[in-house]
Chains A and B, each alone.
Chain A
Amino acid sequence: MTELLKNAWMGWQDYKTYGKLAALFIAALFYLLMRGEKREGSRRFVLYAAVMGVLCVLPLTAIFFMGYQTRFYDYEWIWSYVPVTAVTAMAGTCFVLSLWRQRSARVRDICRNAVLTAIVISIFFLCGTFGSRQDSLARERQQREKACEILRAMEEPGSGECCLWAPKEILEYARIYRTDATLLYGRNMWDASLNAYSYDTYSSAEEELYLWMEELAETGEWIQEYEDEEGTHIRDGSACVEGALELGVNNILLPDTTPPEALSELEGADWMPERLRITRLGDYYLLRVG
């Protein structure tokens, strides 16, 4: 129970930290409550928003809402019950109209109305972060386009079934741009929230291969040493590639951080199938079997 209460409270702290729309909403509520709506419907709508807003902030009632919306959703989704956008817009409308000098065609009054409106709008701008996520999402889009290019370039007519193993920046989009390909592991390997969509799990061997590949992409280490509770272990690149082939993989994309001597070692390995081809593909080495 303490943990749940803590989650709810931390959820609220988190919710109000980014941007200030939550603060603007509270200010809007106070304004509308103080102003007093003339229409019964509007008054009750504001009352509903106020009550639900308070219930979402209080940890005890927030827990109830979090239980109601099921555990698949985080704290911020309980704010769906509160008409934040509508109430804030309503307050903005009433506030702007209260500032305006109505029914006046004088230029001075029109300018005054325009300036006051611009000030209110700029307050709204300051409470949010206009287009703040655009940059990070644009980077993601560029990565997506790059992955699409690589995946399309990998296509070879008549090459048969493709089972792919690659760094996550490629596998992230593989099931979108190469729907014919199967993957050693998918996006749910690193995006745990996707595991809610399926009961399937990955074997420890597949997880090991994922960890090795990401470490290789980051550090360029072919033989990686790591520690856990049981002691020090080694992940050998050649063993990982061999393990992947045993799991049915026939297309491997290795990042360009891969040491060239490791590639030569792979070509000469006695366990390697004869029909192995290593080609350069953008920032990757493509190992194709068959």
Chain B
Amino acid sequence: MWYNPNILAIAAERISTDLYSVISHIALFLSLTVLPFVMGGGVLAVLYGRRARELHMADCLLTGWIVCIGLAEVAHLAALFLRQSFSRAVMLFDAGVILTTLLAGVLLLWRRRAENAGGRRARSRAPRHWNTETRQVVLALLFLLFVVYQLVTITVSANVYRAGDMTVETVESFLRTDSLYQINPMTGRAYTEGVPLRLRILCLPTLYGAISRTFGLPVTHVVWKVMPVTVLILSYLAYYLLALALFPGEGDREKRMIFLIFAALILCVGDYRYGMDGFGILYSGFRGVTIRNGVLLPYTFGLLLRRRFRSAALCVLAEVCIVWTLYGAGACLLVLAVMGAVLLYRKPERAGAGEEAGT
């Protein structure tokens, strides 16, 4: 009686389903890291030329994600205004990502070959002491502890704050109708009055829908788990780059790690209220405002402190694609303007100061 003739079929089905899930998650992980990394590297090479070598790997990944947002916006607007189906938008987005990655990859390889032909420069590293290294390992473990807590909160607890948000419903309506904003996501019925243009131009639902469709994952999984985890990681990369700008010295590695620990701690304990950075990162990492506050703004600060104004301009554009702004004037633009002014302001030199210094 224990033998079920269908057991093999059931097991095969289960294994194939699990295998498919594992493969799609591996493909997803690679796509969310490798492709943006290559794209970002290429874009930075175009923006900064040889000076792009001075930038960090995290810059490549963050820039790559900004490029992804840009590509999603292009696909979204094309489908919206040319009245194309959602499938077309997904195809356009996927093609854009692949093409940009290929172009960026070719550019980076060409650059690398040119550099190699010119002779490699050996990197010098400061000698380290055992005591310092041990301390850094302890600090890294402490940081990881906070990150693991946050990852568990996002993935296992799956506590999502949904008030005032309808991302999942919107993406589901895109996938179900294979069109953009044809039905009201709240009721599933056709719109009677329509959608405000300020909402229609934002690309996050298309981005999430494209990820869901491309990798065959449920929308809730993409929106409530995959994206918040991605945003959490991107946020720490942005904070790391900010730490690099605040503590740039070769001997400041420890300071940067402590800075990250405190940032992680603040994000953990600051989850008490909607609008706080920690709350957004832990409970609504998929929202545009969270991406802005958790990733784009810290990255913008880091870029400005490192005088990378072109990349900061990309952050401004990315914000316009994901958050309601005052006709394109968002938080990143204000930060760029004010912080840029603060950084570029030079105190007028006192008359004779040079002479005094020379004496």
Contact = CB atoms under 8 A, between A and B. Distances in A.
Given A105-B131, A186-B186, A193-B163, A133 B272 contact: yes
A74 B275 CA distance: 9
A194 B166 contact: yes
A93 B186 contact: no
29 contacts: A19-B272, A39-B248, A45-B339, A51-B342, A69-B326, A69-B331, A73-B289, A77-B289, A80-B292, A83-B298, A85-B239, A85-B277, A89-B263, A90-B246, A90-B262, A92-B258, A92-B265, A127-B269, A128-B271, A131-B268, A133-B271, A175-B185, A175-B188, A176-B168, A176-B220, A194-B164, A194-B186, A200-B193, A200-B194
Interface of B: 131, 153, 157-166, 168-169, 172-173, 175-176, 184-189, 191-196, 199, 219-220, 239, 242, 245-248, 254-255, 258-260, 262-263, 265-279, 283, 289, 292-293, 297-298, 301, 305, 324-326, 329, 331, 334-335, 338-339, 342-343
A190 to B, nearest CB: 10
* Majority secondary structure of chain B interface residues (helix, strand, loop or mixed): helix
A88 B153 contact: no
Contacts of B339: 45, 48
A138 to B, nearest CB: 6
A96 to B, nearest CB: 6
A258 B323 CA distance: 44
Contact of B184 (A72, A92, A198): A198
Interface in A180-198: 180-188, 191, 193-194, 196-198
Interface residues of A, number: 72
Q: Which 9 A-B pairs have the closest CB atoms?
A: A128-B269, A186-B186, A76-B275, A137-B159, A199-B193, A89-B262, A193-B164, A92-B262, A182-B188
Interface of A: 18-19, 21, 39, 41-42, 44-45, 47-48, 51-52, 68-70, 72-74, 76-77, 79-81, 83-86, 88-90, 92-93, 96-97, 103, 105, 121, 124-125, 127-134, 137-138, 140-141, 175-176, 179-188, 191, 193-194, 196-201
B280 to A, nearest CB: 10
B79 to A, nearest CB: 19
Given A86-B246, A199-B193, 13 more contacts: A41-B245, A44-B342, A85-B277, A89-B263, A127-B269, A130-B271, A133-B271, A134-B153, A137-B159, A176-B169, A183-B189, A187-B169, A197-B199
B273 A76 contact: yes
A187 to B, nearest CB: 6
* Majority secondary structure of chain A interface residues (helix, strand, loop or mixed): helix
Contacts of B158: 141
B258 A96 contact: yes
A130 to B, nearest CB: 5
Contacts of B185: 175, 186, 197
Nearest to B289: A77
Given A41-B343, A47-B342, A132 B334 contact: no
B324 A187 contact: no
A131 B164 CA distance: 21
A187 B199 CA distance: 18
